[in-house]
Structure 1
Amino acid sequence: MTLSLSPAARDLLQSWLAHVTALDGAAATTVDAYGRDVTGFLAFQSSYHGERLGLAPLRSLGIRDMRAWMAEERRRGLGARSLARRLSAVKSFFRWWAERDGFEPTAVLAARAPKFQRPLPRPLAETAARDLLDRVEMQDGRDWVSARDLAVMTLLYGCGLRISEALGLTAAALPLSDTLRIRGKGGKEREVPVIPAAREAVARYARLCPHRLDPTGPLFRGMRGGALNPRQIQKTVEQARLQLGLPATATPHAMRHSFATHLLDAGGDLRAIQELLGHASLSTTQAYTAVDTARLLEVYRNAHPKA
Structure 2
Amino acid sequence: MSLLIPPAARDALQAWLTHLRVIDGAAEATLRAYGADVTGWLAFLAGHLGESYGLKTLAGVPHADLRAWMAHERGRGLGARSLARALSAVRQFTGWLAEREGLDATAVLSARGPKFRRKLPRPLAESDARAMIATVAEDAAEDWIRARDEAVVTLLYGCGLRISEALGLPATAHPLPEVLRITGKGGKERLVPVLPAARAAVARYAALCPFDLTAGALFRGARGGALNPRLVARVMERARTVLGLPATATPHAMRHSFATHLLNAGGDLRAIQELLGHASLSTTQVYTAVDAARLMEVYARAHPRA
Distance 1:102 1:219, change over 3 A: farther
Aligned to 1:100: 100
Separation in 2, partners of 1:178, 1:147: 20
What is the deviation of 1:120? 0.7
Deviation at 1:306, TM superposition (A): 6.7
- SS of equivalent residue, structure 1 residue 280: coil
Instruction: Tell me whether 1:37 sits opposite 2:27 in the alignment.
Output: no
After TM superposition, the score normalised by the length of structure 1 is: 0.94
Residues 205-256 of structure 1 show CA distances to partners (whole Å, capped at 9, x for unaligned) of 12221121234x2211112221111000000000111011111111111111
TM-score by length of 2: 0.95
Deviation at 1:270, TM superposition (A): 1.1
Shift of the alpha carbon at 1:196?
0.6
Q: CA deviation at 1:22?
A: 2.6
Counterpart CA distance in 1 for 2:165 and 2:91 is 27
The aligned runs of 1:135-284 (5 Å cut-off) are 135-215=135-215, 217-284=216-283
Cα 1:209/1:114, change in 2 over 3 Å: same
1 CA distance for matches of 2:172 and 2:108?
45
Cα 1:158/1:58, change in 2 over 3 Å:
same
Report the CA distance between 1:163 and its aligned residue. 0.6
Counterpart-to-counterpart distance in 2, 1:30 and 1:228: 23
Identity %: 68
Structure 2: runs of 5+ lacking an equivalent:
none
Structure 2 match to 1:56:
56
**Whole-Å separation in 1 of the counterparts to 2:102 and 2:262:** 45
1:3–1:47: 8 Å Cα contact kept in structure 2?
Answer: no
For residues 83 and 39 of structure 1, what CA distance do their matches in structure 2 show? 14
Q: Which stretch of the first structure deviates more once superposed, 246-255 or 21-30?
A: 21-30
Partner of 2:291 in structure 1? 292
Contact 1:3 1:46 in 2 (8 A): no
Structure 1's 124 and 104: CA in aligned 2 closer, same or farther, altered over 3 A? same
Cα distance in 2 between the residues matched to 1:172 and 1:109: 46
Q: CA deviation at 1:286?
A: 1.4
Q: Which amino acid aligns with 2:121?
A: P
Partner of 1:24, secondary structure, is coil
Aligned AA (2:20)? V
* Equivalent residue, structure 2, for 1:9: 9
Which amino acid in the other structure matches residue 154 of structure 2?
T
Call closer, same or farther: CA 1:104–1:204 in 2, change over 3 Å.
farther
Root mean square deviation, CA, Å: 1.7
**Is the CA contact (8 Å cut-off) linking 1:180 and 1:192 kept in structure 2?**
yes
SS at match of 1:191: strand
Query: Does structure 2 conserve the Cα–Cα contact (< 8 Å) formed by 1:159 and 1:259?
Result: yes
Give the residue type in structure 1 aligned to 2:255.
R
1:305 deviates by: 7.2
- Checking the alignment, whether the CA contact within 8 Å between 2:147 and 2:201 is kept in structure 1 is yes
The answer as to whether partners of 1:151 and 1:205 remain within 8 angstroms in 2 is yes
Q: Distance in 2 between the 1:99 and 1:207 partners?
A: 56
Render the CA deviation track for 1:260-301: whole Å, top value 9, x for unaligned.
111111111111111111112212211111111111111112
Letter in 1 for 2:281: L
Q: Matched residue of 2:224: which SS?
A: coil
Is the deviation greater in 27-36 or in 123-132? 27-36
Alignment CA distance shift 1:23-1:209 (3 Å): farther
Distance 1:154 1:2, change over 3 A: closer
Aligned length: 306
Q: Structure 1's 102 and 212: CA in aligned 2 closer, same or farther, altered over 3 A?
A: farther
Measure, in 1, the Cα distance between the counterparts of 2:304 and 2:11. 67
Contact 2:143 2:208 in 1 (8 A): yes
